[in-house]
């Protein structure tokens, strides 16, 4: 069996990242759900949990789901074969042998994307730290002092959402470069679904108060 050409290897890697982002359980679906919960929290504050207490656990679960999806894509190069940084390095190293629909792929594109990711270095470090020391393995420090993780690995929802959007934008540019098109996703439908769910729970809570 012959070795794939750099073009074939590049497109094969890209297809896998597209699935990780656009798949039914991919980053975009999880992000859309999480972002809508965050939007409602910004509007209502802790009153959101008063509508239905399980919403708090739903929100935390979605935050963790998005965190793990990002950690998987952004794993450090020495620890993972299938990570975005390694893909961008491969693209830059083989720029002379990778062709986009509009012409030759430029290594400047890969460097631009690496620079864009570097602007999110703080949230990336927090995501990796939480995954390694709290979620996948519980370090002694955080076992005895769970609150310390908030100081050591601060996790701002908006920063995490911005990072996810950056990754989607990067892969979108590569996908469009190769095929002059991009994958369709159902993010808006997930957002509408969460919005409808919260508003329905709010109506139920309001009716219960009236009947009390």
Strand-strand pairing, 103-104 and 99-100 = antiparallel
Please choose, from the candidates 20, 18, 22, 16, the residue with its C-alpha nearest in 3D space to the C-alpha of residue 187.
22
Backbone angles phi, psi at 104, to 5 degrees: -70, 135
pLDDT at 63 over 80: yes
Q: Tally Cβ neighbours within 10 Å of residue 198.
A: 20
Mean pLDDT computed over 91-114: 93
Collapsing DSSP to helix, strand or coil, 137 comes out as coil
Residue bearing the bigger pLDDT, 20 or 181: 20
Q: What pLDDT, on the 0 to 100 scale, is given for residue 187?
A: 86
Mean pLDDT computed over 62-66: 96
pLDDT at 1 over 70: no
Answer whether 46's CB lies under 8 Å from 39's CB.
no
In Å, what is the CA distance from 128 to each residue of 131, 145, 154, 187? Answer: 5, 19, 11, 25
Q: What is the mean pLDDT of the chain?
A: 93
Q: What pLDDT, on the 0 to 100 scale, is given for residue 209?
A: 81
Report if pTM > 0.85: yes
Pairwise CA distance, residues 94 & 88, whole Å: 10
Region of 184 please: left (phi>0), alpha (psi -120 to 50) or beta.
Answer: beta
Q: How confident is the model at residue 90 (pLDDT cuts 50, 70, 90)?
A: very high
CA angle 184, 190, 191 (to 5 degrees): 110
Q: What pLDDT, on the 0 to 100 scale, is given for residue 93?
A: 96
* pLDDT tens string 176-196: 999 877 676 788 899 999 999
Answer whether 114's CB lies under 8 Å from 85's CB.
yes
Q: How confident is the model at residue 77 (pLDDT cuts 50, 70, 90)?
A: confident
Question: How do the domains of the chain map onto residue ranges?
Answer: 6-126+157-211
């Amino acid at each position: 069996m012959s070795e794939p050409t750099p073009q074939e290897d590049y497109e094969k890697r890209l297809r896998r990242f597209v699935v990780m982002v656009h798949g039914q359980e991919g980053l975009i679906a999880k992000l859309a759900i999480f972002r809508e919960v965050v939007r409602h929290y910004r509007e209502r504050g802790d009153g959101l949990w008063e509508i239905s207490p399980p919403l708090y656990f739903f929100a935390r679960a979605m935050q963790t789901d998005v965190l793990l999806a990002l950690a998987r894509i952004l794993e450090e190069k020495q620890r993972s074969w299938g990570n975005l940084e390694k893909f961008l390095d491969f693209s830059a190293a083989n720029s002379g042998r990778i062709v986009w629909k509009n012409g030759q792929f430029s290594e400047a594109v890969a460097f631009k994307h690496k620079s864009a990711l570097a602007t999110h270095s703080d949230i990336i470090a927090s995501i990796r730290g939480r995954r390694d020391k709290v979620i996948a393995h519980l370090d002694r420090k955080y076992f005895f002092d769970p609150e310390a993780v908030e100081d050591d690995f601060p996790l701002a929802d908006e920063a995490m959402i911005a990072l996810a959007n950056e990754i989607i934008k990067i892969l979108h540019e590569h996908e469009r470069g190769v095929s002059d098109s991009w994958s369709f996703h159902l993010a808006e439908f997930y957002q509408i679904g969460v919005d409808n769910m919260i508003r329905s729970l709010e109506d139920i809570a309001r009716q219960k108060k009236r009947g009390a």
